[in-house]
Amino acid sequence: MGVVLEVEGLSFRYDKKQDRSNISDVSFQLREGEWTALIGHNGSGKSTLAHLLVGLLQPDAGQLKINGTVLRKESVSWDIGIVFQNPENQFIGTTVEDDVAFGLENINMPYKQMRERVDKALEDVGMTEYRMADPSQLSGGQKQRVAIAGMLALQPKVLILDEAFVMLDPRSRKELMDTIRKLTNKGMTILSITHDMEEAAHADKVMVIKQGKVAKIESPSQLFFTDSSLEKPFAEKLRNALKNRKCNVPEKYMTEAEMVLWICKSN
Ligand SMILES: Nc1ncnc2c1ncn2[C@@H]1O[C@H](COP(=O)(O)OP(=O)(O)OP(=O)(O)O)[C@@H](O)[C@H]1O
Ligand SMILES: [Mg+2]
């Protein structure tokens, strides 16, 4: 898998009079078709980093490369899309389908192709039946799904989700995580910012950010097995609880599916 996004020595501070940076010398790479979860405490700099990646903020130092080409300052790249946590202020269209089509109209896409993209994106987020609805009349989670569809329709190389699943009910969240996995299988690169360790456990890699610095980039299995300071996904919590009860559980990280298999076999 080739590197799509390369982040080199990115630093940023909101208050230029302050000494301490909000993002400090951050470097990492995102590969094609890879899903990276970005986790860290409140105020650790996740959203600030996301804003830097999409050009909503300009770094004080460092640079971004997309497919090996340095992204020029002040230029906005259509290759990187973002969906925010709060969908309220992300709407422009008067109907759901207008809204999803908005970004495509802006790049003057031919009607037929636009139609196909909008249909597919609405299907991906399970909102086809609401296509003629007024976005302002939707529930929070439905609005969020439409906002995600609007970004999917643009087919960015890299899609950043900044706590974009927070408003969703558990089933929709699971469905959208499956959709995300399908998209990565087709080559889309995902960076999902989350406080949900189940979501992080679904990613290929987890990047931990602490006080504006990258503390770790590891696979979920490595990270959740070794880092005792983190809240663990359910299966790993269960494994630890069984271990504390002197139950003979495997001495390795287990996904939920692996845990289910193990429990069935041991009975
Ligand atoms: N617009 C702003 N002006 C000044 N400081 C800001 C601004 N936005 C964020 N900060 C500061 O930058 C730091 C990082 O904030 P950021 O929003 O990136 O954190 P986060 O990791 O996304 O947190 P959360 O998990 O709560 O969303 C915090 O110390 C915050 O107070
Ligand atoms: Mg944030």
Please tell me the predicted confidence (pLDDT) of residue 6. 96
Query: So where are the chain's domains?
Result: 3-226, 232-267
The per-residue pLDDT string of the chain (267 residues; one tens digit each, 9 = 90 and over) reads 799 999 999 999 999 998 899 999 999 999 999 999 999 999 999 999 999 999 999 999 999 999 988 887 766 677 899 998 876 666 677 899 999 998 898 888 899 999 999 999 999 889 999 999 999 888 888 888 899 999 999 999 999 999 998 888 888 888 888 888 988 998 999 999 999 999 999 999 999 999 999 999 999 999 999 988 889 999 999 999 999 999 999 999 999 899 999 989 877
Instruction: Using alpha carbons, select from 103, 114, 112 the residue that is nearest to residue 79.
Output: 103
Asked if the 3-226 domain carries CATH number 1.10.3720.10, the reply is no
Question: Which ligand sits closest to the CA of 49?
Answer: 1
Quote the pLDDT of residue 172.
85
Ligand 1, atom nearest to 209 Cα: 21
Q: Measured in angstroms, how far is the CA atom of residue 84 from the centroid of ligand 2?
A: 9
Per the document, the length of the chain is: 267
> pLDDT at position 90, please?
64
- Alpha carbon nearest to ligand 1 atom 26, residue: 42
Q: What is the rounded CA–CA span in Å between residue 77 and residue 66? A: 9
Tell me how far apart the alpha carbons of residues 170 and 148 are, in angstroms, rounded to a whole number. 16
- At 76 the pLDDT is 66
For position 191, what pLDDT does the model report?
Answer: 97
Ligand 1 contact via 14 beta carbon (within 6 Å): yes
Mutation test residue for ligand 1: of 13, 14, 56, the one with most atoms within 8 Å of CB: 14
Torsion, CA 84, CA 16, CA 27, CA 32, rounded to 10: 30
Residue 74 is predicted with a pLDDT of: 66
Alpha-carbon distance of 47 to 106, in angstroms, equals 26
Nearest to residue 158, comparing CAs of 68, 85, 81?
81
Q: Residue 50 CA: which ligand 1 atom is closest? A: 18
